[in-house]
């Protein structure tokens, strides 16, 4: 064995040592795709993060389900579990497992994000998900589940609205296109609506260019929180999409600094930073604006970088599949999903 082989073997050993033994056997390298969703399908509703108990919120979720002519199945612990706003970890994991095991359920929709999804990760049996692939949708705090499921089950999941999202016409159209069609999603770009003399939904090219790769990403705060764990994001050769809400520029800087120091930014094939709502607050500890922070970290990268797509915490919101092939054209503000998301 030469020095290079010894080094590779050593690095592999260090990598595996960071992953709990029970998870090593669950690591999947084969991509698994769910079946396309159809009208009349049974859809499981779960709350893996903050619980939802208000009848008005349940009513809002049912309005979404009815709009798409689906049949709802509310998880057992969503309304009847212990606690007030936070069900126990065991109850939330049980609901997740049961929905994947239920043969009648064809898709799983998260009713909201909030806080707490990461608490479930080391309790999930990913083999259950691998053996029962189905559509799984959510965003924000649900990012923790997406990254873990992608890594340890291989399932293609969907970063998209939760049931309490606004579901504007734009959001509803993209949701249907992503989940109810066996064709590739195709081009994703902001609406060309004009507000006075300027675009209502502008984008900004930070680094021009075109690149391709599998999609990964999600909420920046959750991605940052999982660094150094078995569930941290893998970005090499991928198009990384990021989103957040209500974070001051210095906090965005802190999280991007962490990803930069970990090599996660430079290894990506391209980066899309979604419109960050309420992320430009005046702070007494930092005088950079959000876009100055983004330029500081992203403008020197040798990959295409785009800011402003409607990903995440915006009323108009796209649905994006994980781990399928896409092309980013940062000059034109277009993310083109070219691979089919379903088997």
Q: Which helix (H) or strand (E) holds 106?
A: strand 105-110
Average pLDDT by stretches of 10, the chain with 343 residues: 44 49 59 98 97 93 98 94 79 97 98 97 98 98 98 98 98 98 98 94 98 98 98 98 96 97 98 95 84 97 98 96 98 98 97
Strand order in the sheet with 71-74: 71-74, 42-46, 105-110, 135-138, 158-159, 320-321
- Assign domain 186-337 to its CATH superfamily: LD-carboxypeptidase A C-terminal domain-like (3.50.30.60)
Q: What integer pLDDT is reported at residue 281 of this predicted model?
A: 81
CATH topology of domain 42-165: Rossmann fold (3.40.50)
Residues forming the active site: 140, 243, 313
Residue spans of alpha helices (H) in 180-248: 220-225
Q: What integer pLDDT is reported at residue 53 of this predicted model?
A: 86
Closest CA to 298 of 336, 322, 323, 270: 270
Closest CA to 93 of 58, 119, 130: 119
Domain range annotation of the chain: 42-165, 186-337
> How many other C-beta atoms are found inside a 10 Å radius of the C-beta of residue 153?
25
Q: What integer pLDDT is reported at residue 4 of this predicted model?
A: 42
Instruction: Specify the length of the chain in residues.
Output: 343
Q: Which helix (H) or strand (E) holds 195?
A: strand 194-195
Strands 210-219 and 239-243: parallel
Q: What integer pLDDT is reported at residue 181 of this predicted model?
A: 97
Give tens-digit pLDDT for 222-262: 999 999 999 999 999 999 999 999 999 999 999 999 999 99
Estimate the crossing angle of helix 249-261 against helix 290-298, to 10 degrees: 10
pTM of the model: 0.92
325: phi then psi, degrees, rounded to nearest 5:
-75, 135
């Amino acid at each position: 064995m030469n020095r290079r082989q010894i080094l590779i073997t050593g690095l592999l050993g260090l990598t595996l040592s960071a992953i709990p033994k029970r998870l090593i056997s669950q690591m999947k390298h084969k991509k698994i795709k769910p079946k396309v969703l159809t009208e009349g399908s049974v859809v499981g509703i779960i709350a893996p993060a903050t619980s939802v108990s208000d009848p008005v919120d349940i009513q809002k979720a049912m309005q979404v389900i009815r709009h798409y002519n689906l049949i709802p199945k509310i998880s057992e612990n969503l309304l009847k579990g212990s606690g007030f706003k936070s069900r126990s970890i065991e109850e939330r994991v049980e609901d997740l497992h049961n929905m994947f095991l239920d043969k009648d359920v064809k898709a799983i929709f998260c009713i909201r994000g909030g806080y707490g999804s990461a608490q479930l990760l080391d309790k999930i049996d990913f083999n259950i998900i691998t053996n029962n692939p189905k559509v799984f949708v959510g965003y924000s705090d649900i990012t923790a589940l997406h990254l873990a499921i992608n890594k340890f089950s291989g399932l293609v999941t969907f970063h998209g609205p939760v049931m309490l999202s606004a579901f504007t016409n734009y959001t509803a159209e993209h949701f249907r296109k992503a989940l109810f069609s066996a064709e590739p999603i195709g081009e994703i770009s902001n609406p060309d609506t004009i507000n006075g003399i300027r675009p209502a939904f502008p984008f900004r090219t930070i680094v021009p260019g075109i690149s391709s790769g599998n999609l990964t990403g999600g909420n920046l705060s959750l991605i940052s929180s999982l660094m150094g764990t078995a569930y941290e994001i893998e970005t090499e050769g991928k198009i990384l999409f990021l989103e957040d809400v209500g974070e001051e520029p210095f906090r965005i800087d802190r999280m991007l600094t962490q990803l930069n120091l970990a090599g996660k930014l430079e290894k990506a094939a391209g980066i899309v930073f979604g419109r960050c709502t309420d992320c430009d607050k005046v702070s007494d500890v930092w005088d950079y604006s959000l876009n100055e922070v983004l330029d500081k970290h992203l403008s020197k990268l040798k990959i295409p970088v785009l800011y402003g797509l409607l990903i995440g915490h915006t009323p108009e919101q796209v649905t994006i599949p994980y781990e399928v092939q896409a092309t980013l054209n940062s000059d034109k503000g277009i993310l083109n999903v070219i691979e089919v998301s379903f088997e």
